[in-house]
Amino acid sequence: MSTAVAGIDTHDHHRPEKGFGRWLFATNHKDIGTMYLLFSLTMLFVGGTMAMVIRSELLAPGLQFVNPDFFNQMTTMHALVMIFGAIMPAFVGLANWMVPLMIGAPDMALPRMNNLSFWILPFAFTILLSTLFMPGGAPAGGWTMYPPLVLQTGDAFPFLIFSIHLMGLSSIMGAINIIVTIINMRAPDMSLLKMPMFVWSWLITAYLLIAVMPVLAGAVTMLLTDQFFGTSFFLAAGGGDPVMYQHIFWFFGHPEVYIMILPAFGIVSEIIPTFARKPLFGHDSMVYAISAIAFLSFIVWAHHMFTVGMPLTGQLFFMFATMLIAVPTGVKIFNWTATMWRGAMTFETPMLFALAFLFLFSIGGFSGVMTAIVPADIQYQDSYFVVAHFHYVLVPGALFAILGAVYYWLPKWTGRMYNEKLGQIHFWLTAVFVNVTFFPMHFLGLAGMPRRIPDYATQFTDWNFVASIGAFGFGLSQLLFVYIVISCMRGRGESATAEVWDHPKGLEWTVPSPAPFHTFEEPPVRIPAAHTFT
């Protein structure tokens, strides 16, 4: 195979390989991005099916379909799959596709590590999902895995820990790759403050990932040793403290939720200026706001623990710090509105999702401020009010940003315009049903319904019924999205131009659609004025 003359490689690098070797051994950021996105779409439906089981059981009082233990497995796995399998990989997929294109780099800095980061995930999720079929079933102690309860998990326990470790490794390696790429491989003209917001949001998210994924790894390893190796980190009988787990977990967990929203902020900052035909308002403030949010995210973790028995000083500190996060977040909402102000807006599907994000994420933000107030949180904690809050920020928040991003960049990826009419129908169905599903949960929580219960007192019947109907509608509507994306991938639809939209800013719009397998093999020496972010 190797020739006598060193250095001459007869492989043709200008075309991707044929067959599944292309995917298994992929080092191209576009291929890896595609794999992440398709994987996350699959996981969205896996987690979504679990949600359908949950909402079917909660449709009416009484236990109709599943046993309480299996119900708890569903709630636990639904969260693990959605967080680690759907939302996070989707954002990584978008980063893989778009960051090199946006900064004028030929690929990610570490392409082989990129491949490993992706392929760990199907492996990890096969392990995690296989626990459903083990004796004792899947983990059922909540995605938060609090001890001592999680230590009552059966055979699934070591597989849970192992799969979490694998997911963490994937995230950490991905984050390293992103930071190295952004710091080292930007076009010569592109100073940090001239980067697009999506790139900024991912730079900061990557630092958060590196900071906190190891903390989660530590926490679950301590669970493992408590279970199998005689330690007592979290067992009072041996001198340990179950609450310490909660501190360690949430020190990871709170930045984790910002990891799941900062890229969404970046996406919205890309979409709104394009469709308002106006530059992003306050670009530098937006960078500072994201940085402030990221910094603050490290010092608020105990707001998930207001009922554990915390000293008053601690409660006061965490309440004030949590309320403070509303300030930079508010600045972002106002800046996006100011971007729209006196623009010339059109409302294609990506813009619809971005605008829905503005309204509905804000509602999630309001319920967040409410939960920050400790005496009120005593009533909200572990009730459906909290479930409503986090679903508002994650579904019409993170997920809508992802859907908007897919519609926004799909023509660049595939060279075809998606069907705009169908996209709008998908949007409206999704937006209506998401509210029908999650808004009543605020009422349920306030009326006193706890979370993670398979059956409920009869006064909670009506809103549960409404929420379940909404959930079925929401789930079914996503099938339309799959159809739209696959049609586009298969080459149906009008050809897309390089610019796709009306004079959007950003280097990604200077390459053809579909983007060639290799782009920016030479760095752009001068970025055209129309594509700079001053």
For other proteins, the binding residues in 313-352 under the rule CB under 8 A are 315-316, 319-320, 323-324, 326-327, 330-331, 333-335, 337-346
Is 336 one of the annotated active-site residues of the chain?
Answer: no
To other proteins, the closest distance from the beta carbon of 24 in angstroms equals 40
Contacts of residue 311, defined as CB under 8 A and 6 or more positions apart, other chains included, come to none
531 labelled catalytic: no
415 conformational bin, left if phi > 0, alpha if psi -120 to 50, beta if neither: left
499 contacts other proteins (rule: CB under 8 A): no
Helices 400-414 and 349-372 pack at an angle, to 10 degrees, of 150
Binding piece for other proteins, criterion CB under 8 A, among 37-45, 236-244, 427-435, 485-493: 236-244
> Is residue 148 close enough to count as binding other proteins by CB under 8 A?
yes
Rounded to the nearest 5 degrees, what angle is found at the Cα of 203, between the Cα atoms of 198 and 209?
120
Name the residue nearer to other proteins (CB basis): 63 or 476: 63
Interface pick for other proteins out of 21, 25, 63, 483 (rule CB under 8 A):
63
Residue 382 found at the interface with other proteins (CB under 8 A): yes
Report if residue 277 touches other proteins, rule: CB under 8 A: yes
Query: Site residues for other proteins, window 64-103 (CB under 8 A)?
Result: 64-69, 72
Any idea of the CA torsion for 226, 228, 230, 231, to the nearest 10 degrees? -30
Decide: is 230 part of the binding site for other proteins (CB under 8 A). no
Evaluate whether 271 touches 201 at the Cβ level (below 8 Å). no
285 is catalytic: no
Verify binding: residue 244, other proteins, rule CB under 8 A: no
Cβ contacts of 295 within 8 Å, gap of 6 or more: none
Neighbours of 54 (CB within 10 A): 19
Q: Is 459 a binder of other proteins (CB under 8 A)?
A: yes
Active site residue 269: yes
Task: Specify whether 288 is catalytic.
Answer: no
For residue 83, the minimal CB distance to other proteins (Å) is 17
Q: Which is nearer to other proteins, 35 or 276 (CB)?
A: 276
User: Phi and psi of 383, rounded to 5°?
Assistant: -115, 175
256 is annotated as an active-site residue: yes
Specify whether the CB–CB gap between 35 and 97 falls below 8 A.
no
Nearer to other proteins, 3 or 458 (CB): 458
Indicate the angle between helix axes 262-276 and 312-340, nearest 10 degrees.
20
186 is catalytic: no
The answer to whether residue 299 forms part of the interface with other proteins (CB under 8 A) is no
Give the whole-angstrom CA distance, residue 177 versus residue 116. 11
Nearest distance from C-beta of residue 40 to other proteins, angstroms = 27
Q: Which of 134, 308, 479, 486 binds other proteins (CB under 8 A)?
A: 308
DSSP 82: I
57 in Cβ contact with 78 (< 8 Å): no
Number of neighbours of residue 272 by Cβ within 10 angstroms: 26
Q: Looking at 180-188, 192-200, 365-373, 514-522, which segment touches other proteins (CB under 8 A)? A: 365-373
Name the one range near other proteins by CB under 8 A: 32-40, 178-186, 378-386, 407-415: 378-386
CA angle 58, 380, 384 (to 5 degrees): 15
- Using the rule CB under 8 A, give the single segment among 77-85, 111-119, 255-263, 311-319 that binds other proteins: 311-319
Contact 292, 276 (CB under 8 A): no
CA dist 331 and 524 (Å) reads 33
Question: Which of positions 124-143 make contact with other proteins (CB under 8 A)?
Answer: 140-142
In the complex, what is the shortest distance from the CB of residue 274 to other proteins, in angstroms, rounded to a whole number?
A: 11
Q: Does 309 bind other proteins (CB under 8 A)?
A: yes
Active site residue 332: yes
* DSSP 8-state assignment for residue 2: -
Footprint on residues 159-198 left by other proteins (CB under 8 A): none
Asked if 172 contacts 258 with a C-beta cutoff of 8 angstroms, the reply is no
Site membership for other proteins, residue 530 (CB under 8 A): no
Which of the residues 332, 391, 426, 505 is marked catalytic? 332
Closest CB to other proteins among 123 and 341?
Answer: 341
Instruction: Give bridge partners of residue 495 from the DSSP assignment.
Output: 416
The catalytic site residues sit at 78, 107, 143, 170-171, 254, 256, 258, 269, 303-304, 329, 332, 451
